[in-house]
Each structure stands twice: as structure tokens, then as C-alpha cells.
Amino acid sequence: MAKLQKLLAATLAKVIDETLENMAFISTEEVDTEQAPLELENMRAVCLLITAPVVMEIRLGMAEELLHQIVETMYTIDADDITQEQIADVLAETLNTLAGCLMTELLPADQAFSLSLPEAVTDDLSTADDNTIFATQYMADDLPISVKISAAATEELEKILKI
């Protein structure tokens, strides 16, 4: 599992930085979870399932203020004109793009994958459960981002990734 976590850490760091840079010209840096605890009251979260070739869940939490910045940049609108629907759409699209890029980077070129639609979540992002295989935090413009990946069949995933 250590090899899987190391691979996820490196790949996710690259993918999240590229995704936010391409979407909104924002760079990210990974931070130690003890040094930068999540401010959960100012976070919005979304999750999606990867349904093939293995079942995994990815949860993405982003600071509300960061989402406002991204909406402003993407839609070139004033902060006062941003709607909650636009924020929810950007969060969902960020996770969808992130998950697609992550799977493209991880899997062999000839391996297909399937994603479900992103869904808003309200539970605690900071807690890990028995199926959590990787969790990390990033900062973008001094605002927190949290990513948690869960999977029950890690052996199957390691086999597909040949690690």
C-alpha cells in the first residue's frame, strides 16, 4: 500500500496543479495536514465514484473563497454577481476534470475507465475511514483544498497499476 500511496501522492500533486492552472491560472502546493488543518466551516465538498476498472471514491473539498476566485476568473464576472449554482458547478467540474486526469495518468494507455457524476457532500472531510487509501491537503492562494481517495479493493488497483 505504501507504493500505491506514493504513486497517488505524486500523480495527484501533478494533476491538481495542472487542473487549477488550466482552469483558473492558480498554482497549488501540498501541505502537511498537521500544519494546515482544514477550516471545515469555509469549505464546500463534492465526491464522485470511479466505477471501472475498480471502484474508488474521490472527495474534493475547496475553500469557498477559492471557488469564488475560480468562478470570477472562468466567467470574468464581478464577485457580487456570482451565484451558488456557479460555485457548485465549478466545484463539480473541477473534481470531474481532476478525476479524469488522475485516471488517465495512472492507468495504462489502453485501459478504459468510467466516472459517475459528482455529488455534493456535507460530511466531515478531515476524518478517514477504513477504506481511505490516500488523503492530502493543498494550498492555492493561501486557501485550503482537501482530497481524499477511498477504495475497498486496493489489491485489484495495485494489480492494474502493476505496483
Residue by residue, what is the 3-state secondary structure of 87-143? HHHHHHHHHHHHHHHHHHHHCCCCCCCEECCCEEECCCCCCCCCCEEEEEEEEECCE
Q: CB 132: neighbour CB atoms within 10 A?
A: 14
At 65, the pLDDT band (50, 70, 90 cuts) reads very high
The domains of the chain are located at: 2-161
Q: Output the pLDDT for position 142.
A: 87
Chain segment 86-110, per-residue pLDDT in tens: 999 999 999 999 999 999 999 999 9
User: Residues of the chain with pLDDT > 70: what percent?
Assistant: 91
Residue 39 has pLDDT above 80, yes or no: no
Contact between 93 and 45 (Cβ < 8 Å) = no
Domain 2-161 grouped into CATH 3.40.1550.10 = yes
Q: Mean pLDDT across the chain, nearest whole number?
A: 89
Residue 80 has pLDDT above 60, yes or no: yes
Beta pairing, strands 43-52 & 119-121: antiparallel
Contact between 56 and 50 (Cβ < 8 Å) = yes
16 compared with 39, residue with greater pLDDT = 16
Distances (CA, A) of 126 to 17, 111, 135, 147: 21, 32, 9, 10
Residue 126 has pLDDT above 70, yes or no: no
Q: Output the pLDDT for position 60.
A: 96
139 compared with 41, residue with greater pLDDT = 139
Q: Output the pLDDT for position 58.
A: 97
The residues pairing with 136 across neighbouring beta strands, listed in sequence order, are 147
Q: Output the pLDDT for position 40.
A: 60
What pTM value is reported for the model? 0.90
Distances (CA, A) of 132 to 2, 5, 76, 81, 83: 13, 11, 37, 38, 33
Q: Output the pLDDT for position 100.
A: 97
Q: Rounded distance, CA 140 to CA 136, Å?
A: 13
Q: Output the pLDDT for position 78.
A: 86
